[in-house]
């Protein structure tokens, strides 16, 4: 049984996600549909790419991952199908697939030009329904990627900003804020090992070291941990760091060796 995952910025207020599931269930009745998330902030392609990067590895090989964060819907931006060793990724060519499908893992990139796999008529505003869901259904029922269009050499790549390692400190920044208000930074464990982990400073608040778990500090106090994505995260025990520190995406985070 093939799994089709969905990652979008459609939210769950409207029936858009349900409609995509209807299309997939109609055309690929045996496919199993799993939501990764539909809570990506509207048009935030990087947030969608990060969510997919951190979710895809936990699904079985061969899973079809559909990601629709698509501010360019209706323009000439290409719809893509990207095959890697671990899965198949379907979505617009705007970078949303690029973190989950790194360059060295790619087997082929196909521009989706074979319109007989799309819904007819095709809207200019909802390719989740009209292009990406039916293409995922085609893949789930055994259509090879190569039948969906022409191979292309490249896709648009995006990435969060890189941290800067200096003598005695690492200058990072917040790249994602989760629903608990945890501030996820761009500093991963290997980078942390190259710099120090003596203290972490965000908006003038200095935290002692990088802790092992949220419980290292008292309730309501801020701390730094390495989170489940392998990234340094600023949290407040039983609280919201985003609120307490009044910080969001882009906020500088300084990690000092001592």
Question: 107: which 2 tokens?
Answer: 């087997």
Question: 191: which 2 tokens?
Answer: 């980078």
3-class state of residue 151 by DSSP: strand
Among 22, 144, 220, 248, the residue binding a copy of itself under the rule CB under 8 A is 22
Do residues 206 and 222 make contact, with C-beta atoms less than 8 angstroms apart?
A: no
Q: For a copy of itself, which is the closer residue by CB, 229 or 254?
A: 229
Site for a copy of itself in 40-59 (CB under 8 A): 42-43, 51-52, 54-56, 58-59
Q: For a copy of itself, which is the closer residue by CB, 4 or 109?
A: 4
Q: For a copy of itself, which is the closer residue by CB, 54 or 78?
A: 54
Q: For a copy of itself, which is the closer residue by CB, 8 or 186?
A: 8
Closest CA to 44 of 7, 9, 10, 90: 9
For residue 239, the minimal CB distance to a copy of itself (Å) is 8
CA angle 67, 59, 109 (to 5 degrees): 45
For residue 177, the minimal CB distance to a copy of itself (Å) is 9
Question: 26: which 2 tokens?
Answer: 């109609």
Give whole-number Cα distances, 140 to 6, 60, 94, 200, 243, in Å.
Answer: 13, 14, 23, 46, 43
Report the interface residues with a copy of itself, using CB under 8 A: 1, 3, 5, 7, 10-19, 21-23, 25-26, 29, 32-39, 42-43, 51-52, 54-56, 58-60, 63, 71-75, 123-126, 129-130, 178-180, 212-215, 225-228, 233, 237-238, 240
């Amino acid at each position: 049984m093939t799994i089709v995952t969905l990652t979008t910025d459609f939210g769950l207020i409207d029936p858009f996600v349900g409609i995509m599931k209807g299309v997939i269930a109609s055309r690929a009745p045996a496919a199993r549909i799993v939501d990764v998330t539909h809570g990506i902030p509207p048009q935030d392609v990087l947030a969608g790419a990060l969510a997919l990067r951190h979710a895809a590895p936990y699904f079985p090989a061969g899973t079809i991952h559909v990601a629709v964060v698509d501010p360019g819907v209706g323009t000439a931006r290409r719809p893509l199908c990207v095959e890697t060793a671990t899965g198949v990724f379907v979505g617009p060519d705007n970078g949303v697939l690029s973190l989950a499908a790194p360059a060295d893992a790619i087997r082929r990139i196909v521009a989706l030009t074979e319109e007989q796999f799309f819904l007819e008529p095709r809207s200019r505003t909802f390719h989740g329904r009209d292009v990406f869901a039916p293409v995922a259904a085609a893949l789930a029922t055994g259509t090879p990627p190569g039948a969906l269009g022409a191979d292309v050499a490249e896709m648009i790549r995006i990435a969060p900003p890189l941290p800067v390692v200096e003598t005695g400190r690492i200058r990072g920044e917040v790249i994602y804020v989760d629903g608990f208000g945890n501030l996820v930074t761009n500093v991963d464990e290997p980078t942390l090992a190259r710099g120090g982990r003596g203290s972490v400073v965000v908006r003038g608040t200095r935290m002692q070291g990088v802790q092992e778990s949220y419980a290292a500090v008292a309730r309501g106090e801020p701390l730094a941990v390495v989170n489940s994505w392998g990234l340094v995260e600023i949290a407040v025990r039983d609280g919201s760091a985003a609120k307490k520190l009044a910080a969001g995406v882009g906020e500088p985070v300084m990690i000092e060796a001592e």
